[in-house]
Amino acid sequence: MSNLLEELKWRGLLQNTTDEGRLSDALQKSALTFYCGFDPTAASLHHGNLVQLILMRHLQLAGHKPIVLVGGGTGLIGDPRKTAERVLNDESTVVEYAEGIRTQFARILDFGGDNATRIVNNFDWLSKLSAIGLLRDVGKYFRLSQMLAKEIVASRLNSEEGISYTEFSYQILQAYDFYQLHKNYGVTLQTGGSDQWGNLTAGLDFVRKKTGDEVHVMTTPLITKSDGTKFGKSEGGAVWLNENMMSPYAFYQFWLNTDDNDAVKFLKVFTFLSRDEIAELEVSLQNEPHLREAQKTLAKEVTTLVHGEQAYIGAVKASEALFKGGDFSELDAKTAESIAKELGAVEVQLGSSLIDAFISAKLVGGKNEAMRAFKEGGLYVNNARLTDETEIVDGRVTVNGRFAFLRRGKKNIAVLEIEGVN
């Protein structure tokens, strides 16, 4: 793909390269082996990691071979943050996190074919590196003035928190990763976020000094919203890729609620739709913004990419049931449970009064208000109007034998988790 870098620029996936002309030539000349590192600092990857995986997939689709580096070693040290020192996780936690994120790579990257993805763990070589070896064979190639000039290091040095020697040394370990991967797997390109520029260039310099070979680095920009604020926070916190930390329904809703001003930008970054397809959605957004076709397509593409088609279908059914009067009985158990988790379920006993359940769920203020809403036809159970004030919570009103969904009016919704159902 001769115009690969131009395509990445158009999509907003390219911030910096060390020598764009020479990198472009290298990408066109032959298939490169490249890598991106992911430290297991949590049990799941997040939206920032997703940007890197999508960049890797574009490179893979162009014929280049990806290596995913899981930082089992560097994860024990911690990349410096701008704010404060990281809390170091113990080895068992890092191993657990590393195993947890491995399964998430397979959703985006191809593990078959001629340029199949390979996963490696830098614990394999960092754990064998002695203190003397680190100082003599690696540290000698680094100049303190350059290390101190790195943006994050400089900002931490000028803060009250300061920076420990442990985090200060992180850039040496990441540089050593590049060297090991170049030596053992022929890696000539490292990718990462723009905040990693200092670490990436440190690795490039180290490889060149040790071997004399030409290697390259490439970074993606920080993804921001149209108002200039940082992208990637949901009401519950980070946008996790693990369904146990953020349900497919909540994930789908996050993308569906994208602002009009950001929709086209995110379609370019987070999907593999063609330029023509995105251009059509941009026209729709301009001419018929109320249809929200751009946001619907964005939510579909990203949810399917990360969680699969069935999870996307379940998220759509859940949205239709909650907001469009759809059929709750079509929800599978996992989706129903995820909605209950997102909304916060109210526990009630089997056989209790549904009118009382509306009170417990705080959809009405008390018995008198509940009866007024009932007589006005404003109380719904699983989107069916409640017509009998004496009706109780039983198996007939449960979804998947465990939940019931209450609604007052059009938008006030609550979930019952029913105890005592066999």
Q: What gap in Å lies between CA 238 and CA 70, rounded to an integer?
A: 20
Q: What percent of the chain has pLDDT over 70?
A: 98
- What is the distance between the alpha carbons of residues 29 and 121, in angstroms, rounded to a whole number? 29
The encoded tokens of residue 254 equal: 């996050």
Q: Could you tell me how far CA 313 lies from the centroid of its own chain?
A: 19
18, 190 contact by CB (below 8 A): no
Domains and CATH numbers, the chain: 4-220 (3.40.50.620), 233-326 (1.10.240.10), 344-419 (3.10.290.10)
Q: How confident is the model at residue 233 (pLDDT cuts 50, 70, 90)?
A: low
Angle between helices 197-211 and 170-185 (to 10 degrees): 50
Q: Does the pTM exceed 0.85?
A: yes
More confidently predicted of 334 and 249: 249
Q: Residues 80-102: pLDDT tens digits? A: 887 778 888 899 999 999 988 98
| For residue 1, pLDDT beyond 50 | no
Residue type, 301: E
In single-letter form, the type of residue at position 1 comes to M
> Average model confidence (pLDDT) for the chain?
91
CA dihedral (20, 25, 26, 27) in degrees, to 10, reads 90
The rounded distance, in Å, linking the Cα atoms of 68 and 117 is 7
| Cα angle value 259/263/264 (rounded, 5°) | 150
- 350, pLDDT greater than 80: yes
Q: What is the DSSP string of 269-287?
A: HH----HHHHHHHHHHHHH
Q: How confident is the model at residue 213 (pLDDT cuts 50, 70, 90)?
A: very high
Task: Identify the helix (H) or strand (E) that includes residue 234.
Answer: strand 233-234
Tokens 């379920």 locate to: 345
What are the DSSP calls for 151-217, one per residue? Answer: HHHHHHHTSSS---HHHHTHHHHHHHHHHHHHHHH-EEEEEEEGGGHHHHHHHHHHHHHHH----EE
Nearest to 177 by CA among 273, 49, 272, 36: 36
Q: What does the DSSP 8-state code read for residue 77?
A: T
Q: How many angstroms separate the CA atoms of 102 and 55, rounded?
A: 18
Nearest residue to 381 (alpha-carbon basis) of 357, 402, 359: 357
Local structure of residue 224 (DSSP, 8 states): B
User: Which of 187, 164, 167 is closest to 177 using CA atoms?
Assistant: 187
For residue 181, list its beta bridge partners: none
Would you state the pLDDT for residue 22?
93
Parallel, antiparallel or unpaired: strands 187-193 and 33-38: parallel
pLDDT in tens, 101-158: 988 999 999 999 999 999 999 999 999 999 999 999 999 999 998 888 888 888 888 8
Copy the structure tokens of residue 86. 């990281």
- Comparing CA positions, the residue from 157, 168, 161, 49 lying closest to residue 102 is 49
More confident residue, 252 or 402: 252
Confidence at 387, pLDDT banded by 50, 70, 90: very high
- Whose CA is closest to 22, among 213, 215, 210? 215
Sheet holding 384-385, edge to edge: 345-349, 412-419, 403-408, 379-381, 384-385
Query: To which residue do tokens 């920076």 refer?
Result: 163
